[in-house]
Amino acid sequence: MGYAVRIESAEVVVTSPGRNFVTLRIATEDGVTGLGDATLNGRELAVASYLRDHVVPLLLDRDASRIEDTWQYLYRGAYWRRGPVTMAAIAAVDTALWDIKAKAAGMPLYQLLGGASRTGALAYGHASGRDVPELLDSIRAHLERGYRAIRVQTGIPGLDSVYGVAASSAGGGERYDYEPARRGSGPRVLPAEESWDTRAYLRHVPTVFEAVREEFGPELPLLHDGHHRMTPIQAARLGKTLEPYDLFWLEDATPGEDQAALRLIRQHTTTPLAIGEVFNHVHDYTTLLSERLIDYVRSAVTHTGGITAMRKLLDFAAVYGIKSGIHGPTDISPVGMAAALHLDLAIHNFGIQEYMPHTADTLEVFRTSFRFEDGLLHPSDTPGLGVELDTEAAASFPYQPAYLPVNRLVDGTVHDW
């Protein structure tokens, strides 16, 4: 049946250089290795166990060149389908096999996906502040670093801590950035808890964007994340009030489980909508895409079945004129980020790429070759993904329990976020 190469080993590496990552490293009999990201923020050990106990034994001696067949084998053969743990595990295998195939071909992965469709991927940065002056300073700092598009998040008057805003007071007062999976101390680690007031948020956010537009003008692309905290009619109201400020998108306005909610929002506002970072399968999108209820697909390669599945999802979105906005904060490892960038470069319907630089400790573990220049990301022309894992460095950063905060309304009720 032509060229074949046997999978000789598969190793699951859990490391925590500032935050937890799960990486699958597959090696073939001819010595080629491939990496896949399986990180699931706050539930990393569940995916590590799924891989070690249930997936790795199935990979040994399989043909590494049969990527589509392996994807279907792992997805359909398990009977229990979908879900973030399963799809993150499959994503790691799929990405690692693509890495191997591209290395064997001596090409960067995007060449195997059809070649470059653009010179680089426009990236947006995360600006935040406890108040408007601090936010404006953060935007200036991002512009100085070369970003051409900015996500805007700010503290809310009366609330001590707001998810996605650096230097909030919850969790001990330390600075943290987007997707703050916070570590604890002692034998029992519990999530931090934050209070939330949607009415205060809806009053405050339009004033924030008014100040940002007044300071930076009409051309700068601005994005905002609602973190699933609104009801459909609240989200419709926010989208409508933000229309004068010409957002690039309003993200995750309502809980992702309720696709019908986007119909109501769409009826009331022309603000572009993005959703999907908590999705893990194309079936999460069928209504949203076929009815054109969103403008950007926000899934991560890491959580949505890997490069094979994400390429199919984005091709489906392209039929309806919907673009990509692949999830990419720092809980996506450099391996997952590289996979996203190769897709970004190759697909026709690219929109924008989320990007936060990883820490120096993380880059000690993951040796990267992608670059950020003049607001654009490029995955480099190194064969494969262009990322290598330093296993000795990884071992020096052992796993530490860390959880995303729990969001509560001011009356104490646990709330969507």
Say how many CA atoms lie within 13 Å of 199 toward its Cβ: 2
Q: What tokens appear for 410 in the block?
A: 């001011």
The one catalytic residue among 163, 285, 296, 355: 163
Using the 8-state DSSP alphabet, how is residue 384 labeled?
B
Q: Is 309 within 8 Å of 337 (Cβ atoms)?
A: no
Residues in Cβ contact with 317 at an 8 Å cutoff, skipping those fewer than 6 apart = 285, 289, 297, 323, 324, 349
Instruction: Give the residues across from 33 on adjacent strands.
Output: 27
Instruction: Give the residues across from 371 on adjacent strands.
Output: 378
- Between CA 67 and CA 95 the distance in angstroms is 9
Q: Is 238 within 8 Å of 264 (Cβ atoms)?
A: no
Task: Classify 157 as helix, strand or coil.
Answer: coil
Angle CA 309–228–304, to nearest 5: 10
55-to-9, 12, 78, 181 alpha-carbon distances in Å? 12, 10, 10, 27
Nearest Cα neighbor of 128 from 149, 155, 148 is: 155
Using the 8-state DSSP alphabet, how is residue 358 labeled?
P
Q: Is 64 within 8 Å of 27 (Cβ atoms)?
A: no
| Residue 245 appears among annotated catalytic residues | no
Q: Is 57 within 8 Å of 353 (Cβ atoms)?
A: no
Buried b (16+ CB within 10 A) or exposed e, 95-113: bbbbbbbbbbeebbbbbbb
- Between CA 403 and CA 406 the distance in angstroms is 9
Q: Any idea which residue has 């506002």 for tokens? A: 269
- Between CA 33 and CA 150 the distance in angstroms is 36
| Residue 163 appears among annotated catalytic residues | yes
Residues in Cβ contact with 331 at an 8 Å cutoff, skipping those fewer than 6 apart = 19, 39, 41, 179, 181
Nearest Cα neighbor of 159 from 229, 211, 209, 233 is: 229
Q: Is 364 within 8 Å of 387 (Cβ atoms)?
A: no
- Between CA 194 and CA 230 the distance in angstroms is 16
The one catalytic residue among 126, 142, 224, 227: 227
The residues carrying an active-site annotation are: 163, 227
